[in-house]
Amino acid sequence: MTKIDKILSYLDELFPNAECALNFENPYELLVAVILSAQCTDKRVNIVTKDLFSLADSPEKMLALGQDKLKEIIHPCGFFNTKSKAIIETSQDLIYRFNGQVPSTLEELTTLKGVGRKTANVVIANAFNGQTIAVDTHVHRVSKRLGLTTENSTPLKCEMDLLIVVPEDKRSKFHHQLILFGRNVCKAIKPKCDECQLKNICKFYKFANTNKNFKNYDKKGK
Active centre residues (catalytic): 118, 136
CA 184 distance to own-chain centroid: 16
Q: Using an 8 Å Cβ cutoff, are 200 and 211 in contact?
A: no
Spatial separation of the C-alpha atoms in residues 53 and 25, rounded to whole Å: 9
Helices (H), the chain: 3-14, 27-36, 42-55, 59-65, 67-74, 80-98, 106-109, 117-127, 137-145, 155-165, 171-184, 203-210, 216-219
